[in-house]
Chain A
């Protein structure tokens, strides 16, 4: 399922919402989550799961082609932990 399919489904399930509105809504939802993660906040959605920003330390790596040691700077990544309910739903 892609974003556009999700948009379609929303307007099918909620008859008061047009496809155009549904697209705006989906963008607002994910943009608000991105904004929150940008601030380093944790997102907790009951029944779904939580997103957390974690910092990865800088480390040395190697260019696998040339074998030259390169420094990989520290970076932030997102970790998702599925909620109990969803975990069970997926694994039946």
Chain B
């Protein structure tokens, strides 16, 4: 499934034009992205939570050369599926 398929679904179910549907989907994604960019959690009940986690710097190795390198502190995005979604998948 791609963004185009989601747009198609909105078009079918909501009745907005294709162009409008595409605009809506894009807006929804932009709002979510903007929130995550600000480090804010996004909770979608029935689907899951997106959250930004801070990682501390740590030592790692270049697997190719074996040389030790420093992995810098960073923020990563994680997704945790909701209990409902997990149940749906396994039923």
Count class of interface residues, chain A = 35 or more
B3 to chain A, nearest CB (A): 5
Interface size on B, residues (CB 8 A): 46
Q: Mark B12-37, 1 if CB is under 8 A from A, else 0.
A: 01100000100111011101110111
Distance in angstroms between the alpha carbons of A24 and B36 in the assembled complex = 23
Given contacts A25-B24, A44-B2, A48-B33, contact A77 B89 (CB under 8 A): yes
Interface residues of A (CB under 8 A from B): 1-3, 6, 9-10, 13-14, 16-17, 21, 24-26, 28-30, 32-34, 36-38, 41-49, 51, 53, 75-78, 80, 82, 86-87, 89-92
Interface residues of B (CB under 8 A from A): 1-3, 5-6, 9-10, 13-14, 20, 23-25, 27-29, 31-33, 35-37, 39-48, 50, 52, 74-79, 81, 85-86, 88-90
